[in-house]
Structure 1
Amino acid sequence: MPELPEVEVSRQGVSPWLSDQTITNIVVRQRQMRWPVPAEISQAVGQQVLNVNRRAKYLLIEVETGTIVLHLGMSGKLRVVDASLPPVKHDHIDIVLGSGKCLRFNDPRRFGACLWQPEGTQLPQMQNLGPEPLTDAFDEERLYTLSRQRKGAIKNFVMDNAIVVGVGNIYANEALFMAGIDPRRAAGRVSAKRYKLLTAAIKQVLAEAIEQGGTTLKDFAQSDGNPGYFKQKLRVYGRAEAPCLSCQTPIKSVVIGQRNTFYCPSCQR
């Protein structure tokens, strides 16, 4: 599933093609996505793209009267192509631009979304989100304070979008390894000192992933079609029974919160 770095890389890739362009048409070939594509999306036609931003895993294409909100779901991909290029299977949505290009949304599993958020409103999906992890609003004090009395696993805690957005499964595994914290440990039993290490690790692993273009596992590719290269830097994720890169102990795999979880039983406690 594309996580925050993959969405940010997609934003960086498509933004130069969309910014200041006029949306001349929106072609919806399949309305039945994760949520039905609303007819109100057509309100963006004829308007200029003011900004292309990101909130959590949502890509935000802002025009004067509202925002087109895109979510890549599990298998969504964005491409900037010539608007005249015939669509292929699973090309569900085209946002056509005055330049003759279009932003094409392909999603085989249809767990992605394309929504319309009128100016001055906020979609339910955008409410109750925690701070962005790469901003000063996310720090160790927040994690420590909110974790007190929590008995659930710390991995689930840092993946909670109300705590901090965008720390998906891959990067939670990697950050917990970097901080030396067992992912099974209760969030309330982690000290302030260790939360400081974890906060720094989360910021580092996400920044590295963005710099490397994201993590290509099966479905994700950048907007130019190139793969993300962070997979080559994964320290624990997907490496069950392989030797730990720090101590050579075999990496273990368990399921936490219905997600595959990888950790080193020697380095993480």
Structure 2
Amino acid sequence: MPELPEVETVRRTLENFILNKKIEDIKILYPKIIDDDQEEFVQTLKNKTFTEIDRVGKYLIFKLEDVAFISHLRMEGKYQICKKGDILSKHDHVIFVLDEGMELRYNDVRKFGRMKLVDYDDYKNQLPLSKLGPEPFEIDYLELYQKLKKKNKAIKTVLLDQSIMTGIGNIYANEICYQMHLNPYTKANVLSKKRVKELVDVACEILNKAILQGGTTIHSFSANGIDGLFQVQLKVHMQKHCPLGHEIKKVMINERGTYYCPICQKAKR
């Protein structure tokens, strides 16, 4: 699933192609992608020009003059810039026909992604964004500390809870725990203020590095066909050995594949 760095990479990439482009038509080939009435979705956006692309956590917000829609890529959604007349892919489900002979195509092998109209000015206070916590770049570590004190769950599970802190998914949760030498089974409510501050700092450091590298390309992620490069810097996720040569262990924590080094990330007794 694309996480914050991958979605930010998509946002930056698309800005280079679609800002100031007008939507001439929208073709919806798989209706369930749209969480609104299809006709309303099309008529609201038709003849509007893209003016800005925002991002909140793992969500993209496309702003067009005085209207906006939100897009969640879920597991394997991606956008492609094409020319009119290019052969459609089997998994192209929503086609935004733009001026100047261009098309913005939403492609999703698993069809889990969703789009929804939102208020142009107040989308952060509307569902689903209103349920999200702050991003690591925004959260105060003392605020996070107070949240974690109420969570008697594994820190790996809590890092994936988007209502506490948004943007971190499975890949980066594994990497954050490793860099902190933090066992993923550690209960969130035992972390000291110092460790919580370190958690925020490490999360920001790793996410920023991943953004600079264009995200992590594992399985299907790419931004308009351009692969990210951060996967070569992964220390534990989908690795056999950590940087110190110790064997990586894979376990399931709350049904999520978790990679960690039992030596570097020893559980405290």
TM-score normalised by structure 2 residue count: 0.92
**2:257 and 2:35 mapped to 1: Cα distance?**
27
CA displacement at 1:209 relative to structure 2: 1.0
5+ residue gaps, structure 2: none
Matched with 1:129 is 132
- 1:237-257 CA-to-partner distances (Å, cap 9, x unmatched) read 112xx33213x3211111111
Matched with 1:9 is 9
Question: Which shows bigger deviation, 145-154 or 166-175?
Answer: 145-154
1:245 counterpart (234, 243, 246) = 243
* 8 Å CA contact 2:63, 2:120 repeated in 1: no
* 8 Å CA contact 1:31, 1:37 repeated in 2: no
**1:233 and 1:58 mapped to 2: Cα distance?**
25
Q: CA-atom RMSD, angstroms?
A: 1.7
**1:222 and 1:15 mapped to 2: Cα distance?**
11
**1:126 and 1:160 mapped to 2: Cα distance?**
14
Matched with 2:19 is 19
TM-score normalised by structure 1 residue count: 0.92
1:254 aligns with 2:255: no
CA displacement at 1:35 relative to structure 2: 4.4
* 8 Å CA contact 1:40, 1:116 repeated in 2: no
Q: 1:120 to 1:209 in 2, by over 3 A?
A: closer
**1:41 and 1:65 mapped to 2: Cα distance?**
14
Report the 3-state secondary structure (helix = DSSP H, G, I; strand = E; otherwise coil) of the residue aligned with 2:236. Answer: coil
Matched with 1:198 is 199
**Where do 1:1-269 residues align within 5 Å?**
1-33=1-33, 35=35, 38-42=38-42, 43-119=44-120, 122=123, 123-134=126-137, 137-223=138-224, 225-239=225-239, 242-246=240-244, 248-268=245-265, 269=267
* 8 Å CA contact 2:36, 2:117 repeated in 1: no
Percentage identity across paired residues of the two chains: 34
CA displacement at 1:99 relative to structure 2: 2.2
* 8 Å CA contact 1:176, 1:201 repeated in 2: no
* 8 Å CA contact 1:173, 1:261 repeated in 2: yes
CA displacement at 1:132 relative to structure 2: 2.1
Q: 1:62 to 1:70 in 2, by over 3 A?
A: same
- 1:107-136 CA-to-partner distances (Å, cap 9, x unmatched) read 1110011221143554422222111223xx
* Paired AA for residue 10 in structure 2: S
5+ residue gaps, structure 1: none
* Paired AA for residue 8 in structure 2: E
